[in-house]
Structure 1
Amino acid sequence: MPSAAMLATGYPQELKEIKKQIENLSKAQKRRLDLPLGSDAQREERDVEAVSSHVSTLIRCCEQTIHQIRAVGKKEGLLDDEFRQNMQRSLASQLQQLSRQCRELQKGYMAELKRKLRPRKFPLLYPAKSDAP
């Protein structure tokens, strides 16, 4: 079984990959939102879904790593346990920030997509961004 330090050394690479995939998600969402109304957007929607799913999988894998850090070497002593606990908290905090960033990105994307696809029968009730003062 790997040590807590060994588990944690791979963690920065996992976080970098999540950041990279969040950037890819943002780009995929932008490509989808930039399409004109009425165009066939299925491919771009699939891209957004695939990248979003990949980010979720990466986050779950990181969560498992965090849990493994605490479980590894419980018999090592109080100082080691405190070290693992501090490491676990630090990594969990970093992952939480990335997870929040991803959720906010998804929330903004869904709101913009909903606004864009909203019927335009009553433009005064549903102003587009360019219609706003």
Structure 2
Amino acid sequence: MLTRGLRSALLIAGVSVATLIATATVATAGPASVSADPCPSRALCLYEGSNFTGEMFAATSLNPAGICVSLVDHGWGDRAHSAINTHNTSAQMFMNDDCVGGPYQVPGNSSLSSFGTFTPESVWVPYRGS
């Protein structure tokens, strides 16, 4: 029988490992040629240029709660100027690197050909499975 302290320590360790695994696998991203790689299903795709031109960055979540993806950490801070959301749920873009503050919505199953002067530093994407 485990003592209360040992159970708490194991629970915290388990949550920490689960969080580490979740954050290591929840977002998939990478640049691709727009003509060679269309936006994958249930993803938020950001494009370097307006009208879906230039390199593409695709983000999706394997975490049922959704996930905040730092564009800065992926070399995409201030680079995105248009987006396609192939998920049926809205995604949000933020002008800061931690998904807080007033979001710029990208409705489900929609596209935005230009953000104007808005330049996202992070995005929140919904669970890929929902």
TM range (shorter): 0.3 to 0.5
Structure having greater relative contact order (Cα 8 Å, sep ≥ 6): 1
With structure 2 as the length reference, what TM-score do the two structures score?
0.33
Find the structure with the greater CA-based Rg. 1
Q: Which has the higher strand share?
A: 2
